[in-house]
Structure 1
Amino acid sequence: MSPPPFDDWDREKILARRALFITTTVAALGCSSQGGQSTPTSATTETSVPAGTTTTAAPTGTANAPTKPVKLRAWAEVEKTLPPLSVGASVSGPEKEELGSLKERLAPHYAAIGKVWASPPKCAPKDCPDEWAAAAKAILDARDAVEGPGPCGEWGGIGLRQRRAEQTQAIMTLTKELEDALADAALAHGDATSWAKLVVLPPPPLACLKCAPPMQPGLLEGGHWGAPLSVLFADGSSTIEKDADEALAKIPKDAKDPIIVRGHADPTEPDPKKLAQARADAVRDRLVKKGIKANILTTTSFAGDLPIASSATDEGKRKNRRVDFAFKEPHR
């Protein structure tokens, strides 16, 4: 065979030198990564094994990897701090129906979160994807249940608004704690991306102007359709605190529509029915002194039947010891 033309011959020599240079460089890098000692890939290491000993191959992959514990509080302890969903005997009419509907809507989501919380995935996301997908669904569904007013225009009364606010905060806090714990568990399994993709937030819904809460000018706080306005009390007391005047000042002195002054007690307080009534009466008297007509004010006691927060915490008890306000007729 005749040699290739001069140009081709020269090109082949150049390519050969380049190949040698690349091979040498790769070998040097391999030695550096081994602390200056290269080990042939085909070499085997001999280990003496006592006679009669059975050897087992080390597990490979993540399917047989040890379980990575998910660090979460006991679900039984979590349940004690959840805002109440029950509806007491003194709650009646449309408000009872609204609160009952809220319970029916949220109870299944708490159950789903509790199931994942008590028994989180015990393997990597790629090894048991269904378990991780179920956990993500429980989190996202619970958040969807408390975001927005629900069916268009169904904003509800004061009791529903107060409870929705507490339930929203509780579910958002709870699901964030669960999401973070599962993220740590997935990372411990060597997967830093799968879980984040599962719990990605969907795009927010488009604004619906006709769904905006109906409010009257000057009544943006307090009242059936306004933002909840409450006066809080000390434990076992019906004495109005000094900072209550700031809240009461938001009720206009020239109000003409009937206002219901609603007294509440925490279920753990002694004689909650009597105490709640005393609180409502005290607030009514203070409003009259501020110039609001007495004939438009009506008081009622809900005893401890309409708590909005858990009585297992001091903060929850504080929120339950309150007087709030509602209009007899909705303001549209």
Structure 2
Amino acid sequence: MDEEQLDRMRRGMDEEQLDRMRRGMDEEQLDSIMRLPKVELHLHHEGAAPPGFIRGLAKEKSVNLSGVFKADGSYAFRDFVHFLSVYEAATSVLKTPGDYARLTKAVLEESAANDVIYSETFLSPDFCGGGDVGAWREYLHAIREAAIETERDTGIILRGIVTCIRHFGPDQAKATALCAAETAGDWIVGFGIAGDESRGKPRDFAYSFDLAREAGLRLTAHAGEWSGAGSVREALDDLKVERIGHGVHAINDLALVDRLVENQITLEICPGSNVALNVYPNLAAHPIEKLRQRGVKVTVSTDDPPFFHTTMRDEYLNLARSFGWDETVFAEINDNAARAAFCDEDTRSRVLKRLERP
């Protein structure tokens, strides 16, 4: 039975039949799925910091992070807006290029332990040097050197996407875009926007995206996580992006879904994050499978994994259990991600080669 036949079979299943298919996966199959080589496109650098790393750094620097952690040592937040403030408080202990070098190694070692072979990380000069180009270059050098060293040790490949912060406003985004443009190349490969979707409109940031595009950077934007399908359409129209971070509410506008398919727009979907933040009440209610069935190029990432108590292995395990995804589906997901990655073609070829199944 080929992949197309399998997809038709899944689409024709009722919930009871699909549940039997899920239960039919034994532990050996699930373990094999969790250990597949993986490509991750949506990872916030500071948001991937292990809590123990941040607590240790705070202790070294005598920084008071009361309210940032729960009693069990994990990050504490109530909702998305509070999450953003906790995120920025935790980030405040990262004060030097050396701190970011250490962070990079900690993040990549965790990703490699989850069988990630290629990752793109969101970096903001707002946190790395205060938006100053000269300071940003120093931070970037430290991050890149740590990434190269970790690649030698573990094989994981990292590339950077400079990200402006939406709730910092359009003027600050212009400074961030200038940092991105000045350091665009084979390692800084993209530009995007993250932060509070309720603040401003995508068109307010069009200048920054135009500047990044002219520098040769490829473009993505967080949209459709909180602000509905219309925000995805606005990001496509006003920012001319080729990938969308999250984008899950596109499912509520089937004409938009058709546009995503027609224009080959890839979605960087983070299921565990969406459930943890109550975008959806549980994984069974998540639209990732519906989007995939309609032909959208979906990928899987962790977003801010320690905040949301997830890893890439966890994401794969939970998707296999919830939707009956087998290794064939995950091969499709990783192929989507590798082909949508912003890296150069030589790097893409190496990644695709490592994804090949025996």
User: How high is the TM-score relative to the length of structure 2?
Assistant: 0.27
| Higher relative helix content | 2
Larger radius of gyration: 1
| Higher relative strand content | 2
User: How high is the TM-score relative to the length of structure 1?
Assistant: 0.28
